[in-house]
Amino acid sequence: MVQIKDKMLELPVIQGGMGVGVSLGGLAGAVAACGGMGCVSAAHPGYREADFHNDPNRANVRALKEEIDKARAISGGRGLVAVNLMVAMRQYAPMVRAAVEGGADAIISGAGLPLELPGLTAGSSVALGPIVSSGRAAKLILKTWDKKYGVTADFLVIEGCKAGGHLGFKEEDLLAGTAQSLEEILPQVLAEIAPYQEKYGHSIPVFVAGGGLTGQDLVRFRAMGAAGVQAATRFIATAECDASQAYKDVIIGAKKEDVRIIHSPVGMPGRAIRSPLVERMEAGERRGPDWCANCIKTCDPAHTPYCITHALIEAVKGNWEEGLFFCGAEVEGVDRMSTVAQVLEEYRAALERA
């Protein structure tokens, strides 16, 4: 059991948010139903809505609330339901408000530093969990929240260099293998949270993420002071994951040599499978957007080499030619379909053995 603000998390495992459309209410609800924290991604949850192209913001706000409801219904009241929000999104503030109005238990926020987050959730009981990739980022967020809002984090996620999706590390370090490991970052973050735990009189549970963390890793990192783990790629190959079977098959079939570090219009490096789109980008091709949702703060549609929203939507639908298939560094270890209950049972059994 781990206390997250005023709620208890039975199993210290978070299913990492996966946009676009990979983790919605179906997957998040199934994880919560087993006692974990399921996470709905707020990156274009409305991509299947009829009005998405005409009014993406409205479609996304509505869909996010529906997906939270769906997760809650599937969970049967067990576990926790969180929303993952990327700071890099232009619609960050309205989507934070939608997550609060939709009744999410927690907001997990990264892809940038969520320095303004407490201001957007003031007066609500939602738990706040920033994502960091260094002790320095944890320090900056906690200091800003303390000074500006008089609050601290309710929990924290450290996303290491082996995670999928956008990565908070320098591309050179990722390619050269010189990025700090989770084992190095964890003690730095634990040192940064210590004064705030004391000041605010509660613990700030830390979850580590990235690299297909297993039950054994959960036990190992708990011994080092973490509260739990966040995992994502292994949840894609489950019956309950909201992506198409074609996406799941891409994950199951991927080998280590198929994994690439890519440039994202978000302005961060990312980790994805070498698909035809990735190969075209590596060859220097440019395909600007046919349509723009105006979604990423740093994206300039006139110059971006590709539209990340289009590429991620095509991936979740299973379009191998056009899609950008994010994955973690240890994707090769995911070689068969399973159920969410089976994945979570592995963690539970490891904890019980320990």
Ligand X SMILES: Cc1cc2nc3c(=O)[nH]c(=O)nc-3n(C[C@H](O)[C@H](O)[C@H](O)COP(=O)(O)O)c2cc1C
Beta strand segments in the chain, E: 2-4, 7-9, 13-15, 37-41, 80-86, 106-110, 127-132, 156-159, 165-166, 206-209, 228-231, 259-263, 269-273
Question: Shortest distance, CB of residue 165 to ligand X, whole angstroms?
Answer: 3
CB-nearer residue toward ligand X: 211 or 265: 211
CA distance 161 to 181: 7
Residue 327 engages ligand X in binding (rule: CB under 6 A): yes
Binding of residue 254 to ligand X (CB under 6 A): no
Say if residues 110 and 132 touch (Cβ distance below 8 Å). Answer: yes
Q: Among residue numbers 14 through 53, which ones bind ligand X (CB under 6 A)?
A: 16-19, 22, 41, 43
Residue from the set 35, 36, 45, 210 that interacts with ligand X by CB under 6 A:
210
Interaction of residue 232 with ligand X, rule CB under 6 A: yes
How many chain residues bind ligand X (CB under 6 A)? 29
Span between the terminal Cα atoms of the chain, in Å: 14
Q: Does residue 159 interact with ligand X by CB under 6 A?
A: yes
- Return the closest-CA partner of residue 127 out of 103, 149, 143: 103
- Residue closer to ligand X (CB basis): 234 or 348: 234
211 binds ligand X (CB under 6 A): yes
Q: Does 179 bind ligand X (CB under 6 A)?
A: no
> x/- site string to ligand X, residues 54 to 93, per CB under 6 A?
------------------------------x-x-------
Residue 104 near residue 68 (C-beta atoms within 8 A):
yes
Which range binds ligand X by CB under 6 A, 45-53, 141-149, 155-163, 189-197? 155-163
Is residue 108 exposed (0-12), middle (13-18) or buried (19+ Cβ within 10 Å)? buried
**Options 96-104, 145-153, 218-226, 320-328: segment touching ligand X (CB under 6 A):** 320-328
Q: Residue 41: which residues within 8 A CB-CB, separation 6 or more? A: 17, 18, 19, 20, 21, 22, 23, 24, 83, 84
Nearer to ligand X, 110 or 118 (CB): 110
Considering the rule CB under 6 A, would residue 128 count as an interface residue with ligand X?
A: no
Nearer to ligand X, 29 or 212 (CB): 212
Could you tell me the two tokens for 23? 């983790």
Tokens found for residue 61: 């706000």
User: By the criterion CB under 6 A, which residues form the site for ligand X?
Assistant: 16-19, 22, 41, 43, 84, 86, 110-111, 131, 159, 162-165, 209-212, 230-233, 326-328, 330
